[in-house]
Chains A and B, each alone.
Chain A
Amino acid sequence: EAQVTQNPRYLITVTGKKLTVTCSQNMNHEYMSWYRQDPGLGLRQIYYSMNVEVTDKGDVPEGYKVSRKEKRNFPLILESPSPNQTSLYFCASSSGQGGDYNEQFFGPGTRLTVL
């Protein structure tokens, strides 16, 4: 089954404790992204990757890091989480070939609470 998986689904942590949210896709997609969803703000892109070892900042990258060492994986790293990073996070992937291939496939989401 074609899918994007994220782990963990729920996480409660404390300020300053480093954490990683994993994302993996099995569709051989080139493009992967991380978004955060906040009430009244919709989805905002954090980082994206066009291919292995190619990453770039989205609209709200501060406080986050990413890496793309393998095509299927795109982890999101919070080196020193703060309460304003409490949010619902989504990973997404697409083939990015244009036209009908622009569809984004989303993971189920990770709800993060930083105390």
Chain B
Amino acid sequence: GDSVTQMEGPVTLSEEAFLTINCTYTATGYPSLFWYVQYPGEGLQLLLKATKADDKGSNKGFEATYRKETTSFHLEKGSVQVSDSAVYFCALIVSGGYQKVTFGTGTKLQVIP
């Protein structure tokens, strides 16, 4: 079946450090890929997405590139802020009769001043 594997957290970084959160996937079809963010006490919200190979999703300084050859969708940000502290989920959808979302287990990011 479909699955998403994320790096274990928590990840602790100093403000302005470079961030990478690894995400790899297995899918039976041709998936769309997503990163969701969950701020403390809130529901998940879409951060960025990519729907085909070599697409780059970007938002709020975060980027991720859909790499079909390595089945990866790593999240990166050049300079993190304290306000980026949250849990980040990688997810995929394989199009079909029902677009079931498969989530990774989440990676908690803590940014310290």
B-binding residues in A (CB < 8 A): 4, 31, 33, 35, 40-43, 45, 48, 50, 56, 58, 90, 92, 94, 96, 98-100, 102-104, 106-109
Contacts and interface: CB of A to CB of B under 8 A. Distances in A.
Interface in B80-113: 89, 93, 95, 97-101, 103-106
B77 interface: no
Contacts of A96: 98-99
Contacts of A43: 44, 89, 103, 106
Given A42-B104, A42-B105, A42-B106, A48 B98 contact: yes
Contacts of A50: 97-98
B20 interface: no
Nearest to A44: B103
Contact of A98 (B95, B100, B101): B95
B42 A108 contact: yes
Interface of B: 32, 34, 36, 42-46, 49, 51, 89, 93, 95, 97-101, 103-106
Nearest to A99: B51
A55 to B, nearest CB: 11
A32 to B, nearest CB: 11
29 contacts: A4-B43, A31-B98, A33-B101, A42-B89, A42-B103, A42-B104, A43-B89, A43-B103, A45-B100, A48-B98, A48-B100, A90-B43, A90-B44, A92-B44, A92-B101, A94-B99, A98-B99, A100-B51, A102-B32, A102-B34, A102-B49, A102-B99, A103-B34, A104-B46, A104-B101, A106-B44, A108-B42, A108-B43, A109-B43
